[in-house]
Structure 1
Amino acid sequence: MEFVRNEADAIYHEMVFDAMGPQPEYNEGSMAEETNSKAREFYDLLHATEVHISAKGQNITVLSWVAKMLNTKTLYNMSAANWEMTLSLSRKLLSPEDQEKIPKDFYSAKKMINVLGLGYKKIDVCVNDYFLYYDEQSKNLTACEPRNMAVVRQKDVPRKSLWYLPIILRLQQLYMSKKMTEHMTWHLKCREDANEVIHLAGTEAWKHFDETYTTFAKEPRNVRLG
């Protein structure tokens, strides 16, 4: 059966390209194994925007279905076990062929979405926001040591957590495309007049940063956030 991509499907298709970068042109300097791995992840996810499942006469792509199911978990604060029970019931409404197309558990669904660079890390935090606890030792702490007053964990459960959204993967993905790499290094290679402010590289703040951190400034692919 052949499906025609509708507007909703196109949005998810474009989302993959936006998150993973303008594929599939990879830089020659990239390591072969890493490139092949990233390319495989990209095409697997892109495939999920093309493969359809049918339910009650309506067709929906696998990626769209997974994204909406995970969104439901977030909206209603469902536990992983609760969500997987809902997943199991939903799968029974599909044909055996379609059941094989979608993730079988929460881990598999989250792994698919994480390829988009939408993962996160939870870091223990002092309830009064004095300190962040990154390492494994924080799991044994019951109080914020310097203050000895703010409880960090109670019954092995963090009292407060920071949800950190890593951006390193997203920045790396920008350099997986030759075309995007040209844009990312335009400030060094394509500016005709260094004194004309047509890019942030011409501002005093940028110049001061380069003078202060000379080693960082020597690599044009380094990204400045601010």
Structure 2
Amino acid sequence: MDDCICWNKHGEEGFNEQDGEEGLHETCASGNEEAPFGNGELCDDDVAEIAASPVPMVENLEEMVRDAFDFDEYTGSEFKKLKQPLEDMKTPLYPSCNERYTKLSASLKLLQLKVAHHWTDKGFRELLEVLGDMFPEGNQTPRTTYEAKKIVCPMGLKFEKIHACKKDCILFYGDNAALTECPKCGTSHYKGRTDEGDDGEETHHRVPRKVTWYFPIIPCPKHLFATSKDAQLLTWHSDGRTVDDYIRHPADGIQWRVIDFKNQTFADEPRNLQFALSMDGMNPFGVNIDVYLRPLIDDFKEL
């Protein structure tokens, strides 16, 4: 419609994702692209934000690795991933390359161009393959979109795949994890699938009827307190906030003070974190939202 306003995400002017070429955001289902790196995909908005401020990114990386030496929660593999960006910042794209372009900065610049010009993953991958062949042998050019994003942000997000009843009655989780059918409606946990192998024998697979993805909340505060600068900011509402008649921060509002009044012991420790639950719409018909909140509630109980 000619009189329809073109909204893009939060109302910015410019390119509208829905008007982009088909296949702009390709998924793994097409078979042409890799699975999301690590445990969570780095989206185009994240790339644009990182590319807009590379100097603070470098400083934050160095600080993160220094603080990680004193943080016991990181595993060996996680610590190795933290150190990798620092090594990539010092690795030239190829031996005689301009000092501006290292393995990390070149990958970041290429991803920035991908975002700015709305290149598809398939087209971007083909460009990387050509650049890799054009540059001298042994160059550090990433060969795929997956590899480029992994160089820029190696950590990713941890998630759990939890099976659910097809009719949203329960999660096959905790005490219900081993059940083969829903105890409330009797629906089978799995849908059968039979494949014939090369030797002619049939192999039976148990494929869940419904799967929900859960991002555990516990690692988030651990990582926030792992960096000294972020840990200091987390107590700013108590240590650095100006207390007057103006509202500059949620802590200046009446709602925050009411929560502190009702939970005085909790409020006395400024390092305690308050969590808020936000939903971008939900379908009230036939979906028991409390069923899907169970892993989150269990994490809150553990905290």
State the TM-score, normalizing by the size of structure 1.
0.56
Gap change, CA 1:164 and 1:36, over 3 Å in 2 = closer
Report the equivalent of 1:83.
Answer: none
Within 5 Å, give how 1:52-63 maps onto structure 2.
61=103
Report the alpha carbon displacement of residue 34 of structure 1 after superposing the two structures with TM.
4.5
Within 5 Å, give how 1:4-153 maps onto structure 2.
11=51, 14=54, 22-24=63-65, 26=67, 30-31=70-71, 33-34=72-73, 40-51=80-91, 61=103, 64=107, 115-135=154-174, 137-138=176-177, 140-149=178-187, 151-153=188-190
How many residues are matched?
Answer: 188
Taking the aligned partners of 1:136 and 1:96, their CA distance within structure 2 comes to: 55
Letter in 2 for 1:46: L
Gap regions ≥5 residues in structure 1? 1-6, 69-74, 77-88
Report the equivalent of 1:154.
Answer: 191
Letter in 2 for 1:178: S
Gap change, CA 1:13 and 1:127, over 3 Å in 2 = farther
Report the equivalent of 1:211.
Answer: 261
Gap regions ≥5 residues in structure 2? 1-46, 112-120, 123-128, 193-205, 277-303
Report the alpha carbon displacement of residue 185 of structure 1 after superposing the two structures with TM.
0.7
Letter in 2 for 1:187: H
Greater relative contact order (Cα < 8 A, sep 6+): 1
Taking the aligned partners of 1:201 and 1:190, their CA distance within structure 2 comes to: 12
Q: SS of 1:23's equivalent?
A: helix
Within 5 Å, give how 1:180-219 maps onto structure 2.
180-193=230-243, 196-219=246-269
Residues 125 and 132 in structure 1, CA contact (< 8 A), matched pair in contact too: yes
Taking the aligned partners of 1:159 and 1:113, their CA distance within structure 2 comes to: 35
Report the equivalent of 2:290.
Answer: none
Report the alpha carbon displacement of residue 97 of structure 1 after superposing the two structures with TM.
5.1
Hey, which of these two has a bigger chunk of helix by percent?
1
Gap change, CA 1:24 and 1:53, over 3 Å in 2 = closer
Identity %: 24
Gap change, CA 1:204 and 1:113, over 3 Å in 2 = same
Gap change, CA 1:193 and 1:114, over 3 Å in 2 = closer
Report the alpha carbon displacement of residue 186 of structure 1 after superposing the two structures with TM.
0.6
